[in-house]
Amino acid sequence: MTKPITKPESSIEDPFLWLEDRTATQSLDWVHRQNEVTVGELQGDPSYQASFQTALDLMTAEDNIAVGSALKGHVYNFWQDKTNVLGLWRRTTVASYKTEKPEWETIIDFDQLAAKEGIKWVFSGASRLYPDFNLCLVSMSPDGGDASEMREFDIETKSFVDGGFRAPASKSGFGWLDKDTVIVSAAFEEADKTESGYPRVVKLWKRGARLEDATPIFEAQKEDLAVGAALEFDGDRRYLVLARTLDFFASHIFLRLPSGENKRLPLPDDMTDTAIFKDQLVFGVRSPWTAPDGTPCKPDGLYSVDFARWVETGALGPVETLLEPAYRVSIAGIARTQDRLFINLMDNVRGKVVVCERKEGGWSLKPVALPENGNVGISHAEQFGSSVSFSFTDFLTPSSIIWSDDDGETLATVKSQPARFDASPLISEQFEARSKDGTMIPYFVVRRRDQKGPVPTLLYGYGGFEVPLLPGYAGVRGRLWLEKGNAYVQACIRGGGEFGPAWHQAALKGNRQNGFDDFAAVAQDVVRRGIATASSLGIQGGSNGGLLTGVSLTQHPELFGAAIIEVPLLDMLRYTELPPGASWMAEYGDPSKPEDAAWLSAYSPYQHVDAGAAYPPVLLTTSTADDRVHPGHARKMAARLQEAGHARTLFFEETEGGHGGRGDRRPQAAQTAMKYVFLQRALTAKA
């Protein structure tokens, strides 16, 4: 029997509001007490230590693939292992990278830097100066969160530049305009920030000047999501492109002219998959648009206009069709080398890549000869050269890197991860479940080929922000879950990006319940097929997927035997009050508007905790330093569940690392092991 969805009493005062204070003594005392209970129970399990060691060994294995991107004869890579806990930013030559044991040159040793400065710096990336790429603007986070400090670094001297560009930790962005000018998307002072806490003003910062004296050249509105800026290269042409991001799915794009004018590009707000290539601006759309010349532009297609002509004349000119949409084929991304454009496609959640050339004023396309029936991705494409690499994996095939030095013509597998578990008894299958409104929802199952009856099964989902869930090899999951005879299910529910914008929009804002219904339908179909019973089926999801599992818990507790809710959104009536929650209103809606509040309150898990419901065991996890999804969501949900008498609710908060758990692998391995211990205990003997 499905629990009826009722509107909660929003007038009831929130008794756990105090847990939203991230670092208050009272909050952290509560966190430490919760952690003590959870650690005692899960790390005290006899199977924990071996699981932790396995997870750590696999996460830090020296024969993991060093994924890298090529730039001017070098391949750059960030690497962590048992010795290099915080990691090495390093490089090697392209020729050396292709060998079994490349000779790496360390650029920055973050463990050494942390020892020297007393801060556990987490590498967040670097912007390198064209054309030598030796001067860098290095971003690094002091706590693993999104806010990062920036420092100028010289690769040749292996040192930070004395008196060079430097900015304190913030959510600002940095890129080079030239050797003596940095483009700053600023989010330092409150006046510089949007309501979401992201950059609102683009400034030009001259060498030797104070950061606060940088010259503003572009601004967004306070209620916008963010601004961004980048110097784009197309052959000999350079363009300073400015973006006013209205929300997650809409932007106004401007070009900075030599006169100082910011000229807006007359294309749709919901443009996506853009690239400037061979004087053309390539773009896709999220909703149908008819170009001024009458060309119909459809979602999941790619189109182009003569960008150089528009810059010179102001006339948009004719729109060309580069790629026609096809049923259940969506665009996963595009990337370019100097002479070719690569389109990564998903065909019924299976990957392929098409390469495009621009010749004599027209487009030519052909497939890249990559393996089929797996997850194919573009690992890197060298914009100033001709190297490109691709990744290939599926649930049972270890990842490999396929490399080309000639724009995808000649391909060679240069890296293959060793097998991490015995896949020989396993099978990977794709099924479909019929959702409540009749929509067919694809999902993958990985299990033993000779499975005779229901087994403990983990169902994973996400369903938001156009993000697809694709097949992928996971050694830890293989060793700690599949090798024990358990099954794994991955659901491609609406809200995600598996089938392009329409699939996402079908669970947007007031349609969110569709995605939740899809997940429930997959759970029921898994049971109907005899893969699991309801009590042997566990669910897991993080971030937006944490919202999914939170809703699943409160709407359908009868469908599951355990729930893992990771770094979640759960109080959807207050999510915009917890930074940067306001940035997601295009996805979920605005709880300050009565119409939006009605659909949010209909499913918001925090308000729907029921003392009389029979909830399965629950494990909620979060991070103190998470500055993307506030830890208050998980804290308050755990407190409310426990207060309502649901004693099988465990809570764990990592005190280091941000939303993605970056930094030291040991706490990541510990948390992973605890989750598998939790699932095994909750689901075993219930099949």
Active site residues: 543, 659
Residue with tokens 């089938």: 499
226 strand-pairing partners: 245
Tokens for 314, please give them. 């102001």
Residue 261 backbone dihedrals phi, psi, to 5 degrees:
-80, 140
Q: Which of 132, 41, 242, 7 is nearest to 652 (CA)?
A: 41
**Cα-based angle 525, 530, 535 (whole degrees, multiple of 5):** 85
Type of residue found at 150: M
SS3 label, residue 439: coil
Could you tell me if 600 and 572 are in contact, meaning their C-beta atoms sit under 8 angstroms apart? yes
The one-character DSSP state at 602 is: H
Q: Is 361 exposed, middle or buried (0-12, 13-18, 19+ CB in 10 A)?
A: exposed
Question: Long-range contacts: 338-342, Cβ < 8 Å, 24+?
Answer: 338/235, 338/382, 338/383, 338/384, 338/385, 338/386, 339/386, 339/407, 340/386, 340/388, 340/407, 340/408, 341/275, 341/277, 341/282, 342/368, 342/378, 342/381, 342/388, 342/408
How far apart are alpha carbons 419 and 475 in whole angstroms?
8
The one-character DSSP state at 402 is: E
What does each C-alpha distance from 73 to 76, 79, 387, 412, 630 come to in angstroms?
Answer: 10, 19, 10, 18, 42
Tokens for 501, please give them. 């914008």
How far apart are alpha carbons 681 and 579 in whole angstroms?
35
